């Protein structure tokens, strides 16, 4: 693990590589907005089915998660499955690549859009 704090209330820090190792039904982790979730026990409870979660195992699922438009209740359901966060250095690299976190990035409030038909 990248970092582990002895305090029970402090979340653990993980690298993307560490999360990537946990991508099976026996141990399924995913990243959403730099938070790491262990979804192993949630697989059978997921309303969209097991396959949707397995497809996102071991990777950053922020975009697919947001594309679905999960409700506030769904977001609250995630809280008990949070096991940590991505290390700060990798968060900065991710944001530098153009993947802002809409929950915390107030600079990206552009309301314009384009529809191509």
Per the rule left: phi > 0, alpha: psi between -120 and 50, beta: everything else, 79 is: alpha
How many Å apart are CA 79 and CA 70, to the nearest integer? 14
pLDDT digits (tens, 9 = 90+) for 54-79: 999 999 999 998 888 888 888 899 99
Comparison of pLDDT for 9 and 7, the residue scoring more: 9
Q: What percent of the chain has pLDDT over 90?
A: 50
Comparison of pLDDT for 27 and 7, the residue scoring more: 27
45 has which bridge partners? none
Kindly list the structural domains of the chain, giving each domain's residue range(s) and its CATH number in brackets, ordered by start: 12-88 (3.10.120.10)
pLDDT digits (tens, 9 = 90+) for 25-49: 999 999 999 999 999 999 989 888 8
Instruction: Report angle CA 38, 66, 9 to the nearest 5 degrees.
Output: 35
Q: How confident is the model at residue 96 (pLDDT cuts 50, 70, 90)?
A: low
């Amino acid at each position: 693990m990248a970092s582990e704090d002895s305090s029970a209330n402090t979340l653990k820090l993980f690298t993307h590589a560490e999360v990537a190792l946990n991508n099976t039904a026996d141990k399924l982790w995913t990243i959403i907005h730099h938070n790491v979730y262990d979804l192993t026990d949630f697989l059978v409870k997921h309303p969209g089915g097991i396959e949707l979660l397995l497809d996102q195992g071991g990777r950053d699922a922020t975009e697919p998660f947001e594309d679905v438009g999960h409700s506030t209740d769904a977001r609250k359901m995630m809280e008990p499955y949070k096991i940590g966060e991505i290390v700060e250095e990798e968060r900065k690299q991710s944001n530098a690549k153009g993947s802002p976190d809409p929950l915390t990035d107030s600079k990206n409030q552009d309301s314009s859009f384009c529809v191509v038909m």
